[in-house]
């Protein structure tokens, strides 16, 4: 349990290390919510919105710096011990791949501690197929599996995803050639839904797209040799989840039932997208040579 004892105030945070961070991140097309309406509507508003004043930018950055200062000052002894223990290495049990959307905070929603999760985020929680695109996410997965020996990889999509909305309405990608190119890796979802649920539009269509994107990215991930080998020997399990922001609920892909089911704590049969391990037992001694 955490304990706190009075301590002398820490010296001011070494601000020089903080101000080297990039400028304040302005949630862009990833941060749509029902309150801000449609992607196109948001785009129009952004066009007409005056640029942030220098004062506002300073205030935003000052909030970050002050937040870090508060974090250091209010750290419990237990937290300090965790960071001391982690200073020389990490052994996360799970790699968590999710969208870059600012509303998704994995460590917060899973009540995770530093060192628990190896988190990778990108636009649309995408994993390009092996050998098709050398990307940061592919390198991170390879590292997580071969060096960190994570036991689980979760690919987690989310409700109200701007990237999935862009799949529904590609015209909004005009002027964003890199994003447009990146989202080609999610074409599998668009195609599957268009072929099988052609009349599904709006919210329902978005839900199908978001789910199919997770299923498609799981398939892509299995093309990575390191992932395939670890699944085959039973040392890695993979999971496809959707996080609903408004409901704070998670559904998980159940390949046996072909649908996403609610994730419930304590459920011994929680959905798991891992194929059966074919090499989980060692060769019999007589054949080993
Ligand atoms: Zn998203």
Residue 217 Cα, ligand 1 centroid: separation in angstroms?
14
Confidence at residue 286, expressed as pLDDT on a 0 to 100 scale: 66
Strands (E), the chain: 94-99, 117-122, 152-158, 237-244, 249-254, 259-262
Is 3.40.1050.10 the CATH classification of the domain at 90-262? yes
Confidence at residue 55, expressed as pLDDT on a 0 to 100 scale: 76
Residue 162 Cα, ligand 1 centroid: separation in angstroms?
5
| Burial zone of 121 (CB within 10 Å; 0-12 exposed, 13-18 middle, 19+ buried) | middle
Residue 30 Cα, ligand 1 centroid: separation in angstroms?
5
pTM: 0.79
Residue 282 Cα, ligand 1 centroid: separation in angstroms?
41
Among candidates 154, 284, 289, which has minimal Cα distance to 217?
154
Residue 106 Cα, ligand 1 centroid: separation in angstroms?
13
Q: Which residues pair with 97 in a beta bridge?
A: 120, 155
* CB under 8 A, 24+ apart: contacts of 64-70: 64/18, 64/21, 64/24, 65/13, 65/15, 65/18, 65/19, 68/13, 68/18, 69/12, 69/13
In whole angstroms, give the CA distance from residue 63 to residue 192: 44
Confidence at residue 275, expressed as pLDDT on a 0 to 100 scale: 87
Confidence at residue 6, expressed as pLDDT on a 0 to 100 scale: 46
- Strand pairing class (259-262; 249-254): antiparallel
pLDDT in tens, 118-175: 999 999 999 999 987 778 999 999 999 999 999 999 999 999 999 999 999 999 999 9
Confidence at residue 151, expressed as pLDDT on a 0 to 100 scale: 97
Residue 288 Cα, ligand 1 centroid: separation in angstroms?
48
In whole angstroms, give the CA distance from residue 198 to residue 192: 9
pLDDT(10) > 80: no
pLDDT in tens, 248-263: 999 999 999 999 999 9
Residue 16 Cα, ligand 1 centroid: separation in angstroms?
32
In the chain, pLDDT over 70 holds for what percent of residues? 80
Residue 165 Cα, ligand 1 centroid: separation in angstroms?
9
Around ion ligand 1, which residues have CB less than 5 A away? 99, 101, 161, 163
Confidence at residue 282, expressed as pLDDT on a 0 to 100 scale: 73
Residue 68 pLDDT level (bands cut at 50, 70, 90)? very high
In whole angstroms, give the CA distance from residue 127 to residue 189: 13
Residue 31 pLDDT level (bands cut at 50, 70, 90)? very low
pLDDT in tens, 234-288: 999 999 999 999 999 999 999 999 999 999 999 888 889 998 888 887 777 765 5
Per the model's pLDDT, the better-predicted residue between 212 and 132 turns out to be 212
Residue intervals of the chain classified under CATH 3.40.1050.10 are: 90-262
Residue 122 Cα, ligand 1 centroid: separation in angstroms?
8
* CB neighbourhood size of 179 (10 A): 18
CA dihedral 170, 174, 175, 177 (to 10 degrees): 40
What's the token pair of residue 224? 């990575």
Confidence at residue 37, expressed as pLDDT on a 0 to 100 scale: 42
Residue 21 pLDDT level (bands cut at 50, 70, 90)? very low
- What is the DSSP code (8-state) at residue 184? G
Residue 87 Cα, ligand 1 centroid: separation in angstroms?
32
Quick one: average pLDDT of 3-13?
44
In whole angstroms, give the CA distance from residue 5 to residue 249: 36
Residue 14 Cα, ligand 1 centroid: separation in angstroms?
33
Residue 210 Cα, ligand 1 centroid: separation in angstroms?
9
CA angle 139, 145, 149 (to 5 degrees): 140
What's the token pair of residue 3? 């304990």
Residue 208 Cα, ligand 1 centroid: separation in angstroms?
14
Residue 173 Cα, ligand 1 centroid: separation in angstroms?
14
Residue 123 Cα, ligand 1 centroid: separation in angstroms?
6
Quick one: average pLDDT of 70-97?
95
Confidence at residue 96, expressed as pLDDT on a 0 to 100 scale: 98
| Structural contact between residues 119 and 144, judged by C-beta atoms closer than 8 angstroms | no
Residue 1 pLDDT level (bands cut at 50, 70, 90)? very low
| Structural contact between residues 141 and 221, judged by C-beta atoms closer than 8 angstroms | yes
Confidence at residue 44, expressed as pLDDT on a 0 to 100 scale: 61
What's the token pair of residue 248? 């704070």
Residue 145 Cα, ligand 1 centroid: separation in angstroms?
24
Residue 169 Cα, ligand 1 centroid: separation in angstroms?
15
Residue 216 Cα, ligand 1 centroid: separation in angstroms?
15
- What is the DSSP code (8-state) at residue 128? P
| Structural contact between residues 170 and 194, judged by C-beta atoms closer than 8 angstroms | no
Strands (E), 169-233: none
């Amino acid at each position: 349990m955490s304990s706190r004892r009075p301590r002398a105030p820490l010296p001011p945070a070494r601000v020089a290390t903080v101000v080297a961070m990039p400028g304040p991140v302005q949630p862009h097309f990833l941060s749509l919510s029902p309150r801000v309406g449609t992607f196109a509507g948001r785009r129009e508003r952004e066009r007409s919105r005056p640029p942030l004043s220098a004062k506002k930018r300073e205030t935003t950055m000052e909030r970050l710096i002050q937040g870090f200062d508060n974090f250091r000052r209010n750290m419990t002894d237990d937290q300090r011990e965790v960071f001391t223990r982690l200073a020389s290495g990490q052994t996360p049990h799970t790699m968590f791949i999710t969208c870059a959307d600012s509303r998704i905070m994995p460590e917060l929603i899973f009540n995770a501690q530093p060192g628990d999760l190896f988190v990778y985020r990108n636009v649309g929680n995408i994993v390009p197929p092996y050998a098709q695109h050398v990307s940061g996410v592919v390198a991170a997965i390879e590292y997580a599996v071969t060096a960190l020996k994570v036991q689980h990889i979760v690919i987690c999509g989310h409700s109200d995803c701007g990237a999935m909305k862009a799949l529904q309405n590609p015209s909004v990608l005009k002027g964003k050639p890199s994003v447009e190119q990146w989202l080609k890796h999610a074409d599998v979802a668009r195609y599957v839904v268009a072929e099988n649920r052609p009349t599904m539009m709006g919210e329902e269509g978005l839900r199908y797209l978001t789910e199919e994107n997770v299923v498609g990215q799981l398939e892509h991930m299995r093309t990575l040799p390191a992932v395939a080998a670890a699944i085959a020997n039973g040392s890695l399990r993979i999971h496809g989840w959707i996080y609903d922001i408004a409901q704070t609920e998670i559904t998980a892909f159940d390949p046996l039932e072909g649908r996403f089911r609610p994730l419930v704590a304590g459920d011994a049969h929680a959905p798991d997208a891992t194929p059966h391990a074919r090499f989980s037992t060692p060769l019999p001694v007589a054949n080993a040579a």
